[in-house]
């Protein structure tokens, strides 16, 4: 197992997996060429964000969930694993939400983009 693939499913190969009760009525559709290109660009951008923000103590990205309306907190590794899963499987893996994350250690994608852009602009001035 590659450690960048995110945490293992605790019910992997368990015949009593509660998710077995859920029917997958809609199998994942392959990504279009444009969607694949977008996800690959997101992966590259995420790596830039991490390089700029991790030394500042930022642990990852926060995303507002469309289903529940709450903020979800993704470590750099988990967000990258989700994006790679989209590329490979057309969907993200199921994962447990972060337990009591330090909310100040996570930033939105837009904040991360602005910060990384500012760092890059400042480095060009030197």
pTM: 0.75
Contacts 24+ apart (CB under 8 A), 9-18: 9/93, 9/94
Residue 1 confidence (pLDDT)? 47
Which residues of the chain register pLDDT less than 70? 1-7, 18-25, 95-98
Residue 33 confidence (pLDDT)? 93
Scored b (16 or more CB within 10 A) or e, 8-47 reads eeeeeeeeeeeeeeeeeeeeeeebeeeeeeebeebeeebe
Residue 97 confidence (pLDDT)? 67
Residue 112 confidence (pLDDT)? 97
Residue 20 confidence (pLDDT)? 64
Residue 66 confidence (pLDDT)? 82
Total Cβ atoms within 10 A of residue 6: 22
Residue 29 confidence (pLDDT)? 83
Residue 90 confidence (pLDDT)? 85
Pure H helices in 1-126: 33-53, 76-89, 109-125
Task: Label the pairing between strands 60-64 and 106-108.
Answer: parallel
SS3 content of the chain, % helix, strand, coil (to 5): 50, 10, 40
Residue 76 confidence (pLDDT)? 95
The enclosing H or E element of 71 equals strand 71-75
Residue 117 confidence (pLDDT)? 94
């Amino acid at each position: 197992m590659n450690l960048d693939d995110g945490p293992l499913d605790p019910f992997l190969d368990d015949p009593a997996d509660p998710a077995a009760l859920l029917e997958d009525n809609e199998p994942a559709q392959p990504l279009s060429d444009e969607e694949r290109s977008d996800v690959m660009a997101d992966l590259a951008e995420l790596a830039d964000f991490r390089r700029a923000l991790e030394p500042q103590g930022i642990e990852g990205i926060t995303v507002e969930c469309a289903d529940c309306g709450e903020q979800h907190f993704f470590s750099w590794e988990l967000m990258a694993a989700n994006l790679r899963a989209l590329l490979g499987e057309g969907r993200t893996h199921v994962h447990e939400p972060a337990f009591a994350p330090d909310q100040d250690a996570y930033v939105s994608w837009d904040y991360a983009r602005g910060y990384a852009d500012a760092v890059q602009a400042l480095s060009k001035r030197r």
